[in-house]
Structure formats: C-alpha cells, structure tokens
C-alpha cells in the first residue's frame, strides 16, 4: 500500500459536514428543494457579479450533495468530487466532457459490460475511436497508445474475475503523453486502495455499491484534481444527470459506517474464498486474497484488503449451477454487490442472458460461473449456507 496511516472511521463520520448544522441537527439536513430564492436584487448581484457562495438551482448543486461530495473527496484523498445519478452517468459524462471528435480512448477488455458498450457503440457517433486491449497485456496497451489518445480507462479489481491492474505501471506508461488515466475503483473502494496515490488522474466509483452500502440508492462519483473536476462539473450541469438531495443524504448516512463495513466485508470475502478454494465441488475461485490468484502479489503490495466479492466456478453444468443457486437459503440472487445483505448472481443468465453461449464463452462468461457478494453477516453463517447448497452436487 502506498499511503500514510489514514483514519477512515473519522473521515467517514465527520468529513465534509458542518460541525454545527442548521437547527443544531447532528445529521446533515436534506435540503429537499429544486430552487433557491434570492432575498432581494442585491443578493442576485452578489451571486452573479461577485461569486457569492450560495446555490441557485438544483441541477447546479445542493448543500446535501456538497456535503456528500466533500466526504467522498476526503476518503479518496482527492482535491474535489462531483456526484451523479448513477455510476454509468459518472463514466459517460466524464468521457464526453474530456473527449472531442478525432480523439482516441484505450480501455481494457475486462471493464464493465455497459462501459464497453458505450465506448464501442456510442463514442464512434461522436467521432471518437476506441481500442480494447486485454487486461493482462501491458505491452499491447502501450502499443495501442496514439498521438490522439486522450484517455486510458481501466477497472481494478475488475468484474467478475477480480483482476488487479498495476496502476503505477499504467501511470508511467502514459506519463508525458497528455493522456488522462482513469480508474474505476468501485471494487476496491478508497478503504482498500487509493489510485490517486499511484499516479492515476481520475477515480470513478459506483456509490451504489460499497460506498452507500445499503442497496437503497443509485449514485456515481468522479474524484481527482479540482481543476479537472470543475471541467467535468460544468459539463455535468448541461447534461443534467444530477443526484437528488435525498439520495445524497442516504449516501452520507451509509458512509458513516463505511470503515466498519469494509473491515467485515474484507474479512468475510477472505474467509469465504478460502473455504470455496478447498471445496471438492468448486472448480476454481477468483479472489485477490488467494495465493493462486494471478495478481495476488500485486494485490498484497498495493491493497490493504480485497473486498467482499468472490467469483467461482462450480463443478457442474448449467443446470447443476442453477440447482445450487436455488438451494441457497440466506444468499439471495441479485446482480449488485457491496451492501449489508449478501447477494449471489449467475452472470450467464442474469447479465449476459441476451448473448448466445458461444458469445458468453468468448467473453469468459462460463455456464458454471457464479459471483458472490458477501454482506456483513457472520462469515460462518454464509459458509454454512453455501455448504448445504453444494451438497446437491455430490
């Protein structure tokens, strides 16, 4: 890990919020309004001519949203942050804000399905070229860089195989080339890794997952240097994918326990991965905290924990894998992760159900592949549930 000692619990509870809130409320109030009025004509001039620190309209900002952004920036160690209505809105708005016709982007092939779709199907409509490179091939990544390359985008860890990127190597690769290095760090969270410390320019999170932590809101955030964030924020005001004040409040509420939740999720993920790795009916486990993971040493060197997501292949065919899922009693089938409730999903039939089997296998999505997202329950309880469900495969 490339960081000094950070008190994540203190930042999660206090950062970004006023010491004494309006009406002496201990929690940041929900400013549930679309419009902010002016006291008089002088107040208008103070705002428009003298840049008075205040709000005008909900699409341009809200006090509850600002508090959440400041808290997230403190946790990430960033100069500034801007919130969006979803993680995909954060990604797409950032790309459109920073790219223009004739530009080129490099993205790794293990990125989120919808991110890849946006790059391959939507960006060409704006005259922007995309090159997709294997997440494992650094030589090909460097060879793909062109004079007009403006963004290099990757995720770390990736979904669903939890591959870990060498962020320092990527930073050195693009250094001095006028290329913006962006990392989607949703699976890592700032608790387990802070990409800015490794030379990454911008960090993106789907706050829906670990950051909010309660499976009850959609949000995304982009974090980085204030100057670059301001460019994205100004574009964001035009595009309009804003987060509402109530979701901002829920995000602040969820972040209060962020450090505590991550400690438990890291612990649960590791215990479950170790259990599955030894089970005779599990063919393979993908988890950076296991020594047999391709990027175990890199993960140990650059991360403080490995999260609650464990991906594995059941020693069964498609129907056997579905039967295993149906026997689970505590783990519920759902496509997200990072919340307090444990979820499990079957990518082949949940995320890639529109693809043929051949198309799925070409993407590495096997019929027996399962992704488990541990919650904050006792690890032993989740392991018992897995154990009883796997018995049908004997």
DSSP state, residue 35: B
Residues 6+ apart with CB under 8 A from 332: 341, 342, 343, 344
Query: Residues 71, 103, 110, 112: which is the catalytic one?
Result: 112
Q: Are residues 238 and 367 in the same domain?
A: no
Kindly state the average pLDDT of the residues 58-84: 97
Evaluate the CA torsion angle 2, 229, 66, 264 in order and state its sign: negative
Residue 91 has pLDDT above 80, yes or no: yes
Band of residue 4 on the pLDDT scale cut at 50, 70, 90? low
Is residue 262, in this structure, part of any structural domain at all? yes
Residues 146, 227: Cα–Cα separation, whole Å: 25
CATH number of the structural domain spanning residue 204: 3.40.640.10
Is residue 348 in some structural domain? yes
Whether residue 15 is found in the same domain as residue 158: yes
Task: Assess whether 350 and 237 both reside in one domain.
Answer: no
Residue 279 within a domain: yes
- Here the tokens at position 150 are 């403006």
pLDDT digits (tens, 9 = 90+) for 310-335: 999 999 999 999 999 999 999 999 99
Q: Please say if 59 is a catalytic residue.
A: yes
Residues 158 and 301 in one domain: no
112 catalytic? Reply is: yes
75 has a pLDDT exceeding 70: yes
Q: Judge whether 322 counts as a catalytic residue.
A: no
Rounded CA separation 295/305 (Å): 13
Up-side HSE of residue 332: CA atoms within 13 Å toward CB?
Answer: 10
304 is catalytic: no
Mean pLDDT on 361-369: 86
Active-site residue identified among 194, 209, 264, 371: 209
Q: Alpha-carbon distance 171 to 174, whole Å?
A: 6
Q: Which domain holds residue 313?
A: 258-393
- Please check whether residues 105 and 186 belong to one and the same domain: yes
d(CA 243, CA 247): 7
User: Is 20 within the bounds of a domain?
Assistant: yes
Whether residues 251 and 273 fall in one domain: no
b/e burial code for range 4-38 (CB count within 10 A of at least 16 → b): eebebeebbeebbbeeeeeeeeeebebbeeeebee
262 lies in the same domain as 353? yes
Q: What share of the chain has pLDDT > 70, as a percent?
A: 99
User: Do 192 and 265 fall within a single domain?
Assistant: no
Residue 93 has pLDDT above 80, yes or no: yes
Query: What's the pLDDT score for residue 332?
Result: 97
Give the span between the Cα atoms of 273 and 267, in whole angstroms.
Answer: 10
Point out the catalytic residue in the list 184, 201, 367, 385. 184
Range 154-159 average pLDDT:
97
Minimal CA–CA distance to 217: which of 225, 209, 208? 208
Mean pLDDT of the chain: 95
Query: Is residue 305 classed exposed, middle or buried when 0-12, 13-18 and 19+ CB atoms within 10 A define those classes?
Result: buried
Among residues 46, 47, 55, 59, the one annotated as catalytic is: 59
Least confident piece of the model among 25-34, 136-145, 236-245, 348-357: 348-357
| pTM of this structure | 0.95
| 3 state SS of 376 | coil
């Amino acid at each position: 890990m490339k960081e000094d000692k950070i008190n994540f619990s203190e930042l999660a509870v206090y950062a970004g919020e006023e010491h004494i809130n309006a009406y002496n409320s201990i929690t940041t109030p929900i400013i549930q309004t679309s419009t902010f009025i002016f006291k008089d004509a002088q107040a208008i001039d103070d705002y428009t001519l003298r840049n008075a620190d205040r709000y005008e309209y909900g699409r341009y900002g809200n006090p509850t949203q600002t508090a959440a952004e400041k808290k997230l920036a403190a946790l990430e160690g960033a100069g500034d942050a801007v919130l969006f209505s979803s993680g995909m809105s954060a990604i797409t708005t950032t790309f459109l804000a920073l790219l223009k016709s004739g530009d080129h982007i490099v993205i790794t092939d293990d990125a989120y399905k919808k991110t890849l779709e946006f790059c391959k199907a939507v960006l060409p409509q704006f005259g922007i070229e995309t090159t997709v490179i294997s997440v494992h091939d650094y030589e090909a990544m460097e060879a793909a860089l062109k004079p007009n390359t403006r963004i290099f985008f990757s995720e770390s860890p990736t979904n669903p195989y939890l591959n870990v990127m060498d962020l320092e190597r990527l930073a050195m690769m693009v250094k001095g080339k006028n290329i913006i290095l962006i990392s989607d760090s949703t699976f890592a969270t700032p608790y387990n890794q802070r990409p800015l410390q490794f030379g990454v320019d911008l960090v993106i999170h789907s706050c829906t997952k670990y950051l909010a932590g309660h499976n009850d809101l959609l949000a995304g955030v982009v974090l980085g240097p204030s100057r670059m964030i301001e460019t994205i924020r100004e574009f964001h005001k035009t595009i309009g994918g804003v987060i509402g004040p109530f979701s901002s409040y829920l995000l602040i509420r969820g972040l209060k326990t962020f450090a505590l939740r991550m400690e438990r999720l890291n612990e649960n993920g590791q215990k479950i991965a170790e259990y599955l790795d030894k089970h005779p009916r599990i063919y393979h486990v993908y988890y950076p905290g296991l020594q047999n993971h391709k990027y175990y040493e890199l993960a140990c060197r650059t991360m403080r924990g490995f999260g609650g997501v464990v991906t594995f292949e059941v020693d069964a065919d498609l129907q056997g894998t579905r039967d295993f899922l149906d026997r689970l009693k505590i783990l519920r089938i759902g496509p997200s992760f990072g919340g307090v409730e444990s979820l499990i999903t079957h990518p082949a039939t949940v995320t890639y159900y529109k693809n043929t089997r051949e198309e799925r296998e070409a993407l590495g999505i096997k019929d027996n592949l399962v992704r488990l997202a541990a919650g904050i329950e006792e690890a032993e309880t989740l392991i018992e549930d897995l154990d009883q469900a796997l018995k049908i495969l004997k």
